[in-house]
Structure formats: C-alpha cells, structure tokens
C-alpha cells in the first residue's frame, strides 16, 4: 500500500542524517514534517547527548507552543519512547502513520514501519502539532 510515508521506508540509518540518503530518528521526523506538513522543526542534532545523558526533553523545551500531548495518536503525531530502565529518559522517536503503525529509524534496521502495540511498554507520550 503506497502512502506519503512509503518513500521513507528502507532509507538507511545514518547518525545525524538529515536527508533521504541516510537518517536517524530525529532526521526522519524533520524530513516528514518538512515535506508532508510544511513545518520546519528545529534540528536537535545532539539530542542523544542531551536526552540520554541529561534526561532533558529538548522537544518539549523547544516546541511546547506548537505541540500538545494527546492520549490517542492520529496520523502525523509524534511518538516518544523512553528507555526500559528509566521512564523519564526519552531515547527514541517516531511518527504515527495510522492503523496502529508508526514509522521510525533505527541503527540496524534503517527506516521502517512498526506496530505500536509492540512498543506500548516504552511509549513516553504522543504529541500533536497545533501550529
């Protein structure tokens, strides 16, 4: 089934990647939001340094005017994931694409679709763009 997310499937992982040649999870989100929603997200290229070591949430710190947390995700909502050890430590992100699926980019798999039900135990929260 082709949709607006199909072209991102299979893009290889590249640390701090920001184009279709290679992406990381935040690069994928930046690209989807730019190309599909015409919304420019701040490039948090050093998110791993901040999110995983200081436990800060750069996304919430920088986007609280543009996004609101929601209980049930809809298409294009952001999904943040916490570590299995620390529920306050955001370590990964993806975009909800509907029908219980989301798209994300991981180091060994590249960009792929995944079932949200398989990741429920590590969901930190869902965030919807309100511009």
Over range 96-108, report the average pLDDT. 96
For residue 46, the model assigns a pLDDT of: 58
CA dihedral sign, ordered 99, 36, 120, 2: positive
pTM for the complete prediction?
0.90
| The listed CATH number (3.90.1720.10, 2.40.240.10, 3.90.1150.10, 3.30.300.30) that belongs to domain 6-41+55-129 | 3.90.1720.10
CA pair distance 24, 74, nearest whole angstrom: 22
What per-residue string of b and e applies to 3-33 under the rule 16 or more CB within 10 Å gives b?
eebeebeebebbeebbeeebbbbbbbbbbbb
**Domain-wise residue ranges, the chain:** 6-41+55-129
pLDDT in tens, 44-84: 655 555 555 555 666 767 677 889 999 999 999 999 998 89
For residue 19, the model assigns a pLDDT of: 96
For residue 43, the model assigns a pLDDT of: 80
């Amino acid at each position: 089934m082709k949709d607006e997310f199909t072209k991102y499937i299979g893009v290889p992982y590249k640390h701090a990647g920001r184009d279709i040649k290679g992406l990381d999870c935040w690069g994928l989100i930046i690209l989807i939001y730019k190309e599909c929603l015409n919304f420019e997200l701040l490039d948090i290229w050093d998110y791993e340094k901040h999110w995983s070591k200081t436990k800060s949430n750069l996304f919430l710190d920088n986007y609280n005017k543009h996004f609101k947390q929601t209980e049930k995700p809809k298409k294009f909502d952001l999904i943040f994931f916490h570590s299995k050890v620390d529920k306050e430590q955001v370590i990964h992100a993806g975009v909800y694409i509907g029908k219980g699926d989301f798209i994300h980019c991981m180091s060994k798999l590249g960009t792929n679709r995944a079932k949200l039900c398989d990741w429920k135990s590590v969901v930190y929260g869902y965030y919807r763009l309100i511009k």
